């Protein structure tokens, strides 16, 4: 008789493929996972608690640090929530700038995902290719607001900085460049047999499960559910632009991969139209009271971040500080399906599936 034992393995908190300080306790039978328990909170900074003692402008930098790969969309969801509460008008130029930076951010965020995902799969080179192209976007942001990662760019009622002269031309030049590079990516990676064998049919779930678990973003659309908040519940100026929502049908890692690459293309399409329609002049800040004091009541707004639906629930008592501020973080919600997906998979697929969900731990833990 051979006595076999299950192996209890701590993947993380320090592990190269958990994308930050995130831990999964897995029970292994050989290399097959029989149980997986995610453990988080290592990066919990109590943003929601801190926010209760800050005014709304002071909270904006904290949102940068939640999803630090996509700080612009986080900025937007907060200022959008406050603007909705106060019924503020945002000048068109400012709204255009916001939309352009958000779409650039989506491209940058998906590039980070693409690079790190391939790094997880074991290919090193694409990571550096992706970062080369992301660097251009980061430089654009740097020129716009003086920061490369945590921008603190948007304000209630507008944006902090107008585009410097020539900035919009650089954005315009970036679009065809990135389109070419996407083709290069496809040639380099998307047809690689090993890569396809690694991700096709892995981490599958159907639309019913995805909705039940409240998944959003590419994680939801890979099952064929047509739900992109930019189209379904348009905010900002998205209703003015033409773009498609890429959908999958198998709900596996491959579909998520295809969707994210296609979303870069669609973002570039939006950018192209936005740059063309960008108003020549105008204000970048609307009329905002000196102290921002939303009326008593509550509001829940949601936008489409690169990772899915990011929401902001503000309860106000008419003070300059929020009474309660809750962020609905897509990474946190999307991650919830992980234990279910992992059972019966191998250690290798753990990395494939976790990478495919696209989490940012700063956002999971908030």
Partner 1 sequence: MPPWLNEPITWGSALVLFLWAVVFLFIVLGFVTYAIYFERKVIGWMQLRVGPNRVGPLGLFQTVADIFKLLIKEDTIPRKSDRLLFVLAPALAYIPAFTVLAVLPYSQNLYFADLNVGLLYYVALSGISTLAIVLGGWASNNKYALLGGMRSAAQMISYEVPLVISVVGVILLSGSLNLRDIVAAQDGGWFWNWNFLPQMIGFAVFLIAAVSELNRTPFDLPEAESELVAGYHVEYSGFRFAFFMLSEYVYVYAIAALTTVLFLGGWHAPAPFLEFVPGIVWFLLKFAFIVFFLFWIRATFPRIRVDQLMGLGWKVLLPVSLLNVFLTAVYMELFIK
Partner 2 sequence: MSEEKKEEEKALPDGARGAGEAQTPPVDPEREAKLKAAAEARAARAAAKEKADKEAAEAAPPEPKPPSPKQPELERIVELLKRDVSEEAVEDAYVNELNGDMPTVVVRNAHWRPAAELLKRHEELSFRYLRNVSGVDYETHMEVVYHMVSLGTKREAAIKVKTEREGASVYSATPVWATAGWNEREIFDLLGIDFPGHPDLRRIMMPDDWVGHPLRKDYEPLDSEV
Which residues of this chain interact with partner 2, rule CB under 8 A? 40-41, 44, 46, 48-49, 84-86, 211-216, 225, 227, 232-233, 289-291, 293-302, 309, 311, 313, 315, 317-320, 323-324, 326, 328, 332-333, 335-337, 365-366
- The CA distance from 22 to 93, in Å, is 40
Q: Based on CB atoms, which residue is closest to partner 1, 21 or 347?
A: 347
Residue of 41, 46, 122, 282 interacting with partner 1 (CB under 8 A)? 122
Q: Which of partner 2, partner 1, none does residue 347 bind (CB under 5 to 8 Å by kind)?
A: partner 1
For 25, counting Cβ atoms within 10 Å of its Cβ (0-12 exposed, 13-18 middle, 19+ buried), the class is middle
Query: For residues 113 and 313, is the Cβ–Cβ distance under 8 A?
Result: no
Query: For residues 69 and 360, is the Cβ–Cβ distance under 8 A?
Result: yes
Residue of 37, 58, 125, 336 interacting with partner 1 (CB under 8 A)? 125
**How far is C-alpha 160 from the chain's CA centre?**
22
Q: From the CB of 2, what's the least distance to partner 2, in Å?
A: 33
Residue of 83, 95, 120, 309 interacting with partner 1 (CB under 8 A)? 120
Residue 136 is a binding residue for partner 1 (CB under 8 A): no
- The CA distance from 263 to 280, in Å, is 28
Q: From the CB of 309, what's the least distance to partner 2, in Å?
A: 6
Q: Based on CB atoms, which residue is closest to partner 1, 9 or 175?
A: 9
Q: Which of partner 1, partner 2, none does residue 44 bind (CB under 5 to 8 Å by kind)?
A: partner 2
Q: Based on CB atoms, which residue is closest to partner 1, 21 or 123?
A: 123
Q: Based on CB atoms, which residue is closest to partner 2, 282 or 289?
A: 289
Tokens 């739900």 found at: 227
Q: From the CB of 321, what's the least distance to partner 2, in Å?
A: 9
Tokens 């105008």 found at: 282
Q: Based on CB atoms, which residue is closest to partner 2, 225 or 253?
A: 225
Q: How many CB atoms lie within 10 A of CB 282?
A: 13
- Site track 11-50 with partner 1 (rule: CB under 8 A), x = hit: ----xxx----------x--x-------------------
Q: From the CB of 118, what's the least distance to partner 1, in Å?
A: 6
Q: From the CB of 161, what's the least distance to partner 1, in Å?
A: 31
Q: From the CB of 206, what's the least distance to partner 2, in Å?
A: 13
Task: Specify the 3-state DSSP secondary structure of 229.
Answer: helix
Spatial CB neighbours of 67, under 8 Å, sequence gap ≥ 6: 73, 74, 305, 307, 310, 329, 331, 360, 362, 363
- The CA distance from 206 to 311, in Å, is 24
Residue of 128, 149, 291, 343 interacting with partner 1 (CB under 8 A)? 128
Distances (CA, A) of 212 to 42, 202, 207, 333: 27, 20, 8, 11
Q: Which of partner 1, partner 2, none does residue 365 bind (CB under 5 to 8 Å by kind)?
A: partner 2
CA count, 13 A, side-chain hemisphere, 233 = 8
In 226-265, which positions are buried (b, 16+ CB within 10 angstroms) versus exposed (e)?
Answer: ebbbbeeeebbbbeebebebbbbebbbbbbbbbbbbbbbb
Complete edge-to-edge strand list for the sheet that includes strand 7-11: 7-11, 23-29, 32-39
Residue of 6, 41, 50, 132 interacting with partner 1 (CB under 8 A)? 132
Q: Based on CB atoms, which residue is closest to partner 1, 126 or 308?
A: 126
User: Which residues, numbered 344-363, are part of the site for partner 1 (CB under 8 A)?
Assistant: 346-351
Query: For residues 222 and 245, is the Cβ–Cβ distance under 8 A?
Result: no
Q: What is the DSSP string of 176-225?
A: HHHHHHHHHHIIIIIT-HHHHHHHTT-S---HHHHHHTT--THHHHTTT-
Q: From the CB of 4, what's the least distance to partner 1, in Å?
A: 13
The binding site for partner 1 (CB under 8 A) comprises 7, 9, 15-17, 28, 31, 118-125, 128-129, 132, 192, 194-195, 197-198, 346-351
């Amino acid at each position: 008789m051979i006595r076999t034992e299950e192996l209890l393995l701590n993947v993380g908190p320090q592990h190269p493929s958990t994308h930050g300080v995130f831990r999964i306790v897995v029970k292994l039978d050989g290399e097959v996972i029989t149980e997986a328990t995610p453990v988080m909170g290592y990066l919990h900074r109590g943003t929601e608690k801190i926010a209760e003692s800050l005014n709304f402008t002071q909270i904006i930098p904290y949102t940068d640090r939640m999803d630090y790969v996509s700080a612009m969309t986080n900025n937007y969801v907060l200022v959008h929530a406050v603007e909705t509460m106060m019924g503020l008008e945002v000048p068109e130029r400012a709204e255009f700038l916001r939309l352009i930076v958000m779409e650039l951010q989506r491209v940058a965020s998906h590039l980070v995902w693409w690079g790190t995902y391939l790094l997880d799969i074991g290919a090193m080179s694409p990571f550096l290719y992706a970062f080369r192209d992301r660097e251009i976007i980061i430089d654009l942001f740097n020129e716009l607001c003086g920061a490369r990662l945590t921008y603190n760019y948007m304000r209630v009622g507008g944006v902090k900085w107008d585009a410097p002269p020539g900035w919009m031309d650089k954005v315009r030049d970036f679009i065809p460049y990135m389109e070419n590079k996407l083709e290069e990516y496809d040639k380099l990676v998307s047809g690689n047999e090993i890569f396809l064998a690694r991700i096709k049919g892995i981490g599958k779930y159907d639309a019913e499960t995805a909705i039940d678990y409240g998944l959003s973003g590419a994680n939801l659309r890979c099952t064929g559910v047509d739900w992109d908040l930019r189209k379904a519940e348009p905010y900002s100026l998205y209703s003015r632009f033409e773009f498609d929502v890429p959908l999958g049908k198998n709900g596996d890692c491959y579909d998520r991969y295809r969707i994210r690459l296609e979303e870069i293309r669609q973002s570039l399409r939006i950018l192209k139209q936005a740059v063309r329609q960008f108003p020549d002049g105008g204000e970048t800040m609307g009329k905002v009271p000196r102290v921002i004091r939303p009326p008593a009541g509550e509001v829940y707004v949601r936008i489409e971040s690169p990772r899915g639906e990011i929401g902001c629930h503000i309860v106000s008592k008419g003070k300059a500080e929020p009474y309660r501020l809750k962020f609905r973080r897509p990474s946190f919600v999307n991650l919830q399906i992980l234990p279910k997906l992992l059972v019966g998979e191998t250690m290798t697929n753990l990395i494939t599936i976790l990478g495919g969900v696209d989490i940012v731990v700063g956002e999971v833990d908030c």
